[in-house]
């Protein structure tokens, strides 16, 4: 496990830029950094200064005076053409004096891995945090409404997925942002076991004490439902891509990124379910 000495640390008064700081990973990273005494610059469309991936004019001010940056691209690096945005942002970051970059990447996503190479080739300390499906998608993401409705209907079959806890992702990212020893690393972050979506649903039902069932639906029905719900086109494309392409078995293996970065085992999906149930997020008012 990398250790941190006084000489290795970034100065606590130099802001660390956290892009997507209102999202699942960014919110946790910003909180952990603040708790450790680091200055955090929130990167979002409503922050001051604002940051918007769709407006390159906002990038410079967000990077001013920053030595380290966490890069989370919205909606996902899998979106075609993201290499252009990542390349331009990384070039500007290096020009502005950023010396440490941490990229949130997607496991098994070809476009994401092209973005990884851009970051790793930037000539500064760079770390890739490559992740599978988030456990928290069931508690604060796209699948929460399904859980509350008692039916998780998705075009997912019998392929196992190593659901990863977002708290683990945040802790690895914070270590890479603030410590020596992570430069050049590609951390494959997964949970400690494979679960099908049906098995994950069973664990949610058991922890919540509610009747929640999994229903496998055709990809066409899922795509139609996403469109009917008014989901933005890029997000709809992403969801359809993830279920149609990434759940083909390519990610049905465990990574050791949490162990290598933090020196401990990753959190299990059952731990996530227990904590989510205890928080009341799956409780339905009578």
Domain containing residue 107: 16-134+163-191+251-267
Measured distance CA(283)–CA(278) in Å, rounded: 9
Q: Which of 119, 138, 261 is nearest to 197 (CA)?
A: 138
Residue 58 lies in a domain: yes
Confidence (pLDDT) at 139: 98
CA dihedral 247, 76, 219, 153 (to 10 degrees): 80
Measured distance CA(239)–CA(275) in Å, rounded: 26
Measured distance CA(257)–CA(240) in Å, rounded: 27
| Cβ–Cβ < 8 Å for 152, 197 | yes
Q: How many domains does the chain have?
A: 1
- pLDDT mean by block of 10 residues, the chain; 286 residues: 44 88 96 97 95 97 97 93 96 97 96 97 98 95 92 95 98 98 98 98 98 95 87 86 89 97 98 98 89
Residue 149 lies in a domain: no
| Cβ–Cβ < 8 Å for 247, 241 | no
Neighbour tally for 19: CB within 10 Å: 26
Q: Which of 199, 175, 193 is nearest to 267 (CA)?
A: 193
Residue 68 lies in a domain: yes
Confidence (pLDDT) at 17: 98
**What 8-state DSSP symbol labels residue 103?**
E
Confidence (pLDDT) at 225: 87
| Cβ–Cβ < 8 Å for 109, 102 | no
Task: Specify the CATH number for the domain of residue 183.
Answer: 3.40.50.720
Residue 36 lies in a domain: yes
Tokens linked to 99: 């010396």
Residue 74 lies in a domain: yes
Tokens linked to 89: 């942002």
Residue 49 lies in a domain: yes
Residue 200 lies in a domain: no
Residue 256 lies in a domain: yes
């Amino acid at each position: 496990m990398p250790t941190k000495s006084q000489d290795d640390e970034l100065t606590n008064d130099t802001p660390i830029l956290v892009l997507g700081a209102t999202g699942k990973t960014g919110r946790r990273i910003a909180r952990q950094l603040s708790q450790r005494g680091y200055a955090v610059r929130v990167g979002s469309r409503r922050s001051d200064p604002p940051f918007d991936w769709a407006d390159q004019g906002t990038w410079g001010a967000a990077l001013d005076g920053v030595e380290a940056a966490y890069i989370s691209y919205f909606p996902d690096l899998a979106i075609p053409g993201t290499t252009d945005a990542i390349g331009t942002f990384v070039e500007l970051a290096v020009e502005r004096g950023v010396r440490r970059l941490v990229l949130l990447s997607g496991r098994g996503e070809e476009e994401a891995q092209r973005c990884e190479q851009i970051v790793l080739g930037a000539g500064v300390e760079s770390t890739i945090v490559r992740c599978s499906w988030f456990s928290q998608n069931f508690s604060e993401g796209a699948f929460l409404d399904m859980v509350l409705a008692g039916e998780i209907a998705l075009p997912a079959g019998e392929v196992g997925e190593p659901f990863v806890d977002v708290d683990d992702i945040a802790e690895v990212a914070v270590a890479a942002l603030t410590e020596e020893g992570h430069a050049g690393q590609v951390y494959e972050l997964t949970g400690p076991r494979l679960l099908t979506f049906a098995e994950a649903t069973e664990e949610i039902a058991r922890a919540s004490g509610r009747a929640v069932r999994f229903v496998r639906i055709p990809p066409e029905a899922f795509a139609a439902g996403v469109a009917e719900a008014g989901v933005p086109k890029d997000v709809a494309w992403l969801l359809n891509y993830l279920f149609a392409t990434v759940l083909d078995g390519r990610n049905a293996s465990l990574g050791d990124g949490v162990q290598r970065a933090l020196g401990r085992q990753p959190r299990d999906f059952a731990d996530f379910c227990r904590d989510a149930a205890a928080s009341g997020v799956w409780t339905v008012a009578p």
